[in-house]
Amino acid sequence: MKYRIISVGKIKEAFYIDGIREYRKRLAPYASLELVEGLEEKISPQARKAEIARALEKEGDKILALLGDRDLLVVLDIKGQQMTSEEVAYFIEKMNLSGKSRINFVIGGANGISSRVKKRADYLWSFSPLTFPHQMAVLILTEQLYRAFKIIKGEPYHK
Ligand SMILES: C[S@@+](CC[C@H](N)C(=O)[O-])C[C@H]1O[C@@H](n2cnc3c(N)ncnc32)[C@H](O)[C@@H]1O
């Protein structure tokens, strides 16, 4: 199984870049994790609802264009289902038996994710009811994937 994070926004801040790089390095012995970023449509901070909606749809088109029949889609969504880290490990094991070839984790930009992408999702995953910046969501995701693989392999990891 391959794993791919699709982040609509770019990872720009050095401290996020460093943290994400570190967890991807730690993950490397367990899984191939690709990171696609920067699908964001440029809109002004004063953009009205209709312009935001159009941008979300264009971002949604770009995300959906990356997916084929053998792709599973997990959308990171504040209003999704919450899981413990053990449940994440079980979820990944179950997905690994699905017969598909890649799990895609999508993290939205400043305005979230289009409803068409959420409809295509196999799972909507919420880390917590708190809202995190997209870069932090990517960092949390890489750490939780690393933790999940340590649990799956029965290897120790500092609590
Ligand atoms: C700044 S947030 C977007 C906030 C936007 N107003 C919304 O409601 O989706 C950017 C992205 O980070 C991810 N994210 C932020 N907090 C999250 C959480 N608690 N659980 C899961 N994903 C989260 C989501 O993918 C979200 O689209």
Domain 2-153 falls in which CATH fold?
Alpha/beta knot (3.40.1280)
- The identity of residue 25, as a single letter, is K
pLDDT in tens, 8-44: 999 999 999 999 999 999 999 999 999 999 999 999 9
- The identity of residue 117, as a single letter, is V
* Alpha carbon distance 123, 82 (integer Å): 11
pLDDT in tens, 73-90: 999 999 999 999 999 999
Residues in the ligand 1 pocket, defined by CB under 6 Å: 76-78, 107-108, 110, 112-113, 126-128, 130-134, 137
Nearest CA to ligand 1 atom 9: 112
- Rounded to two decimals, the ipTM of the complex is 0.97
159 confidence band (pLDDT: 50, 70, 90): low
pLDDT in tens, 34-44: 999 999 999 99
Q: Phi/psi at 121 (nearest 5 deg)?
A: -70, 140
Domain boundaries, the chain: 2-153
Residues 6+ apart with CB under 8 A from 132: 140
Task: Give the per-residue pLDDT at 91.
Answer: 98
